[in-house]
Amino acid sequence: MAQHLFDQKRYAAAAHSLADLLGTEPDNVAVRLLLARAYYHSAQLGRARDELTELVERAPTDDYVRLLLARTLERQGLGAEAATQRRILAALTGDDRHLAQGTAHGPGTAP
């Protein structure tokens, strides 16, 4: 259901459904990532940041999560924090293109 809502670009509805699901499956990383993406796309950036921060703590070498966190921070106007995430991302991937704000060189390139 939540994936279907997300695929239909009904991000706020997907986020609501995913938040409920996460309440019953708090360790489900796939649900947490899709929830973060739904929050990002529905401009619930504070919530997206919270979920992404949790994901980074669980999987600090996940380059896609780092990219999405950097982009979320940029959208919040937190350039210095985003730059830190981009430096880590560049170090993880060996791709210095990640150092430039607003670039998208991750899997699928779309958050």
**What residue ranges do the domains of the chain occupy?**
2-99
Task: Give pairs for 41-45: CB < 8 Å, separation 24+.
Answer: 41/9, 41/11, 41/111, 42/11, 42/12, 42/15, 43/75, 44/12, 44/15, 45/72, 45/75, 45/76
CA nearest to 111, candidates 60, 80, 77, 74: 74
Query: What is the pTM assigned to this prediction?
Result: 0.88
CA nearest to 87, candidates 107, 76, 75, 73: 73
**What local confidence, expressed as pLDDT, does residue 105 receive?**
45
Mean pLDDT of the chain: 92
CA nearest to 72, candidates 53, 96, 91: 53
Mean pLDDT across 86-111: 75
**What local confidence, expressed as pLDDT, does residue 103 receive?**
53
Local confidence band at 111 (pLDDT 50, 70, 90 cut-offs): low
Mean pLDDT across 52-68: 96
Residues near 30 by beta carbon (within 8 Å), at least 6 away in sequence: none
Instruction: Say if residue 109's pLDDT is above 50.
Output: no
Instruction: Say if residue 89's pLDDT is above 80.
Output: yes
Local confidence band at 102 (pLDDT 50, 70, 90 cut-offs): low
Query: What would the CATH number be for the domain defined by 2-99?
Result: 1.25.40.10
